[in-house]
Amino acid sequence: MSVTDECLVHNRDFAQSFAGPMPLVPQRHLAVVACMDSRIDVFACLGLGLGEAHVIRNAGGVVTDDVLRSLAISQHKLQTREILVIHHTECGLQTFTDEEFKNELEASSGVRPTWEEKCFSDVDDSVRESVRVLRSSPFLVSVESVRGFVFEVTTGILREVL
């Protein structure tokens, strides 16, 4: 049985105890931008339940055009107002550079990607940059409550970056 098949078995069990429909608007009016790293359980880490927040994840938790698009929809159409940015220690994006990865992909596929990987060496600086981009975006309704954090993968502690 594949991992996907195992997940589908779990989903059948989950669906039997599913609480039913929830409101479309996140109850806490919160959006979280976080790294896709599998060591971070965003809902458990923040004490959130289903239907309470939008969670947008990507490699590094960095702010890309697609993150801005998702947050603009989240704020304009679905009433979120606070944004948390969560990066973490021991991030994979700290292990290579944008140029190295583009060269690798071009060598293996014959096509050079046009996206930015946004690799970084200092996680705190990367959080500050993501927060800066969000606060300066003309597309967001509310930027006063944008805050950035580093998740410590060895302790589970969130450390605010100022």
pLDDT tens for 76-114 read 999 999 999 999 999 999 999 999 999 999 999 999 999
**Domain span at 44:** 20-161
Q: Is 11 part of any domain? A: no
Q: Is 59 part of any domain? A: yes
Q: How far is CA 7 from CA 4, 55, 106, 125, in A?
A: 5, 20, 33, 37
Q: Say how far residue 108 (Cα) sits from the centre of its chain.
A: 28
Q: Is 10 part of any domain? A: no
Q: Is 67 part of any domain? A: yes
Q: Say how far residue 8 (Cα) sits from the centre of its chain.
A: 24
Q: Is 13 part of any domain? A: no
Whether the predicted model's global pTM rises above the 0.85 cut: yes
Integer-rounded Cα Rg, in Å, for the chain is 17
Q: Is 42 part of any domain? A: yes
- Would you state the structure tokens that stand for residue 64, as one six-digit string? 């890309």
Q: Is 5 part of any domain? A: no
Domain at 116, CATH number: 3.40.1050.10
Sign of the Cα torsion 162, 94, 38, 142 reads: positive
Q: Per-residue confidence of the chain (162 residues) as pLDDT tens digits?
A: 999 999 999 999 999 999 888 999 999 999 999 999 999 999 999 999 999 999 999 999 999 999 999 999 999 999 999 999 999 999 999 999 999 999 999 999 999 999 888 999 999 999 999 999 999 999 999 999 999 999 999 999 999 999
How many structural domains comprise the chain?
A: 1
